[in-house]
A = this chain, B = another copy of it.
Amino acid sequence: LWGTWDELRSRRFWRSLLAEAAATLIFVWLVLGPPPALQPALTAGLAAVGLAHCFGEVSGAQANPALTLALLCTHKLDALRGAAYVLAQCLGAVLASLPLGPWALRLLASVWGPWALGELGNRGNAGQALAMETFSTFQLVFTIFAVEDQRRRGAGEPGGLAIGFSVTAGALAGTFSGGSMNPARSLGPAVLTGIWDHHWVYWIGPSLGAVLAGLSYEFLFASSASREKLVA
């Protein structure tokens, strides 16, 4: 009986309960979201796996301002490098949209819906889209932090694939917002087409989700997490 009482008072017990609730919450949310389109979501996840091999050793292949911000907030990146990375990412995203041009981008939006450009459709309002982006980015960045942590400790499962799968799952769950999870990815088409309606959603949502994921992993779920770390 005392064993049970001790378990009920232990930090580990409640943390594992929280983990089960969070895992089921994320799983059901992801599964319930009807995705706008399969193919862009699939491409995003597949590309993330390949890019991690291409540039992972050089810069981390973050390719996402929200992720860079989360790494900054958890002291895994200094401010100068963080700012320079975000600028480089925005530049890359705009360059990627250039050869398509405004006309091709509008055609794209008419085929896949406005989400293809990281814009808001008329299925939901800005608040719902913000919640979706925050949530989808949370699960993605949480996976990235967990994989990096396991990699440092030499765990066996191929984490790069898990990150790619999280990108696709998050994009497939983006019912109201398209699952951009990446401000740079939304910035490129916005610059080209000149459509800036609700663009803030794709900066605030992913940034909020990424920072929350980074902090909650580092200070709550990581095997090295402790109350002291949270205060420091």
A230 on interface, CB distance cutoff 8 Å: no
Q: Can you list, as one digit per residue, whether each of A2-44 has a CB less than 8 Å from chain B (1) or not (0)?
A: 0010011000010111111111111111111111001110111
Residue of B with least CB distance to A108: B34
Tally of chain A residues near chain B (CB < 8 A): 105
Q: Check A51–B38 contact: CB distance below 8 A.
A: no
Residue of B with least CB distance to A64: B24
A221 on interface, CB distance cutoff 8 Å: yes
Q: Check B62–A23 contact: CB distance below 8 A.
A: yes
Name the contact of A24 in the complex, choosing from B31, B49, B93 (C-beta under 8 A).
Answer: B93
Chain A residues 38-94 with CB under 8 Å of chain B are 38-40, 42-55, 57-64, 80-81, 84-85, 88-93
Q: Which residues of chain B are near A142, meaning CB under 8 Å?
A: 54
Interface residue ranges, A against B (CB under 8 Å): 4, 7-8, 13, 15-35, 38-40, 42-55, 57-64, 80-81, 84-85, 88-93, 95-97, 99-100, 104-105, 108, 111-112, 116-117, 128, 131, 139-140, 142-143, 146-147, 150-151, 156-166, 168-169, 172-173, 175, 182, 184-185, 188-189, 221, 223
Q: Which residues of chain B are near A44, meaning CB under 8 Å?
A: 27, 30-31
Q: Check B43–A31 contact: CB distance below 8 A.
A: yes
Q: Check A81–B13 contact: CB distance below 8 A.
A: yes
Minimal beta-carbon separation of A168 from chain B (angstroms)? 5
